[in-house]
């Protein structure tokens, strides 16, 4: 890309860097500053499906200040779209929760005196356990390596780490299989309020995704496409081979029924990827928000492998535009 007029000092036009991460549990125990950025929050979230193909989306968010965020459990079981499941209201909040590094594992647990059903998570570089007492229990193994990316900016920089786990277990009495990423974000303030993505209308597409195919192969990663130079693709396979690039483009085509996509396309180093929205994948109970969340599946264009289970939790931001403006 040719630049005729340079950016100001320490401004790279929202250019990111991304790559593989040799994840260690101590990475998630670090709640201090990193690269001049304060730790903002840790996320456990993802997609599992039951034997009938229904989606279950659990999420917990641990803020640096120990805020009272609650379990968000969503499903499209017996629904035409993904909505909030009432059972999540009985789970303890994250207020006063404990974060502890014990040997080779990081542990999160509800406060001993918390109101509601207790929870605990434990994760190593190899495995994950997530228990919401009386509601959900998931166990799984890491799909290495971890991934990370950095958006340098003088005021609204971000650093993000992620480890994807392949899990099975049960949710609300239903056996499930799928993927749970464990992510941690360093930035000033709160995502979607003090960031570039929504705060400055920069993002168009942002997804974390993973697919296990029936032949045992795997694809997963992160896609981000936005305005100016914002964007990257970091993806990997079952061999742990990672491809990372900022040479990305993308576009969204709406389906004509509100701010929901008919298709999403990402081109990374000339390789074309397409997002297939789930027919019941709209997270309608989260609306109205500027970045509608939509479940589905990512695949390389023309890929005919049959998926066994998959997750693609992410978003578009139609009010920011449907393709890049550099």
Please say whether the beta carbons of 278 and 56 come within 8 A: no
Query: What would the mean pLDDT of 164-173 be, rounded to a whole number?
Result: 98
Percent share of the chain, pLDDT over 90: 90
Please say whether the beta carbons of 106 and 44 come within 8 A: no
pLDDT tens per residue, range 79-137: 999 999 999 999 999 999 999 999 999 999 999 999 999 999 999 999 999 999 999 99
pLDDT tens per residue, range 250-299: 999 999 999 999 999 999 999 999 999 999 999 999 999 999 999 999 99
How open is the CA angle 179-101-24, to the nearest 5 degrees?
Answer: 55
pLDDT tens per residue, range 210-251: 999 999 999 999 999 999 999 999 999 999 999 999 999 999
Cα-only R_g, the chain: 19
Query: What would the mean pLDDT of 290-312 be, rounded to a whole number?
Result: 97
Q: What is the pTM (predicted TM-score) of this model? A: 0.96
DSSP conformation letters of 259-286: S-EEEEEEEETTEEEEEEEEEEEEBGGG
Please say whether the beta carbons of 135 and 125 come within 8 A: no
Give kind and range of the element (H or E) at residue 302.
none
């Amino acid at each position: 890309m040719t630049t005729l007029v340079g950016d100001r000092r320490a401004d790279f036009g929202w250019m990111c860097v991304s790559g593989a991460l040799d994840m260690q549990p101590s990475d998630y125990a670090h709640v201090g500053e990193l690269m001049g950025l304060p730790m903002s929050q840790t996320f456990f979230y993802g997609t599992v499906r039951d034997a009938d193909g229904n989606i279950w989306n659990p999420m917990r968010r641990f803020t640096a200040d120990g805020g009272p965020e609650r379990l968000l459990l969503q499903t499209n079981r017996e629904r035409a779209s993904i909505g909030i499941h009432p059972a999540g209201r009985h789970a303890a909040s994250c207020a006063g929760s404990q974060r502890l590094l014990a040997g080779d594992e990081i542990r999160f647990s509800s406060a001993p005196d918390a109101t509601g059903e207790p929870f605990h998570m434990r994760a190593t570089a190899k495995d994950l356990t997530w228990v919401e007492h009386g509601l959900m229990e998931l166990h799984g193994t890491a799909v290495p390596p971890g991934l990370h990316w950095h958006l340098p900016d003088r005021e609204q920089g971000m650093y993000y780490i992620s480890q994807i786990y392949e899990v099975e277990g049960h949710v609300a009495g239903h056996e499930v299989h799928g993927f749970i990423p464990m992510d941690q974000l360093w930035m000033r303030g709160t995502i979607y309020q003090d960031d570039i993505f929504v705060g400055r209308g920069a993002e168009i597409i942002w997804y974390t995704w993973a697919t296990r195919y029936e032949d045992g192969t795997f694809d997963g990663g992160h896609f981000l496409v936005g305005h100016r130079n914002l964007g990257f693709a970091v993806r990997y396979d079952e061999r742990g081979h990672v491809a990372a690039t900022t040479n990305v483009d993308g576009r969204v085509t709406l389906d004509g029924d509100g701010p929901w996509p008919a298709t999403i396309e990402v081109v990374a180093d000339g390789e074309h990827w397409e997002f297939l929205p789930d027919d019941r994948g709209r997270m309608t109970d989260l609306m109205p928000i500027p970045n509608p969340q939509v479940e589905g599946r990512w695949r390389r264009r023309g890929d005919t492998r049959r998926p066994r289970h998959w997750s693609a939790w992410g978003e578009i931001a139609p009010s920011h535009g449907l393709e890049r403006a550099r």
